[in-house]
Amino acid sequence: MQQPYTTPSAGRVLVVDDDPTVAEVVAGYLVRAGHAVDRAADGPSALASAAGRWPDLVVLDLMLPGMDGLEVCARLRERGPVPVIMLTARGDEDDRVLGLEVGADDYVTKPFSPRELVLRVESVLRRSRPATGTPPAPRTLAAAGLTVDTAARRATKDGAELALTLREFDLLAFLLRHPGRAFAREELMREVWGWEFGDLSTVTVHVRRLRGKVEDDPARPRLIRTVWGVGYRFEPDAAAGVEEDRHA
């Protein structure tokens, strides 16, 4: 059953784990960091909790009874955008890739440091929200039929809106800002994810997912090119370049 925490916070986090000890520890660290926390022990309870009070972020165990974390993540994505950090008890790369493939923004392998998890949560939350203070001037990037409104966090391809996850959006915006430049996966992890270290397969999977949404033929990518031995490069139409508009 869901157990709400009412501490005022910077964000509301839904923790989904069938291990009560893990859930209690994670919730405790998050509350002490200033977040409000709802808890659920299985997939149906998690979906019911999210429907009643939509979270700012979900910490989701992969191995849940009945409905696993992959299905829960997919069903949440059907309802609306929400950042997801996947927990997996196994270090198997297939598990990590599956979590990223269904739209998880990050994953943490058990056993993990609760402090590290809190840092990951706060990193994802920061990137999912506009900066506080004076609103920045709306900014639009456009190239090769793609348009990214970084203020509204909205992206389109040939006028049709793209359903991008948090990280996919940030990755596309970053690449559009640097057309023609090759970036190593380590650089992308640092610039887009804000991490100095991590599993580089995270970048690989997100590039593959993004290609599936922006390329006419993802099997033969024209826009997001692989630079062998280096990483990836955004290659707009030769004559189009990238336009960047600022509006007051």
Evaluate whether 246 touches 138 at the Cβ level (below 8 Å): yes
Could you state, in order of their start, the residue ranges of all structural domains in the chain?
12-128, 139-246
Topology of the domain comprising 139-246: Arc Repressor Mutant, subunit A (1.10.10)
- What the block records as the tokens of 215 is 């390329």
* Four-residue CA torsion sign, 45, 51, 54, 57: positive
pLDDT in tens, 149-168: 988 888 999 989 998 887 88
pLDDT in tens, 50-103: 999 999 999 999 888 889 888 898 888 888 778 899 888 665 556 666 666 666
**What is the reported pTM?**
0.64
Question: Using CA atoms, how far apart are residues 172 and 103, in angstroms rounded to an integer?
Answer: 15
Query: How does DSSP assign 124-165, residue by residue?
Result: HHHHHSPPSSSPPPPEEEEETTEEEETTTTEEEETTEEP---
Topology of the domain comprising 12-128: Rossmann fold (3.40.50)
The segment with the largest mean pLDDT, out of 5-19, 94-108, 194-208, is 194-208
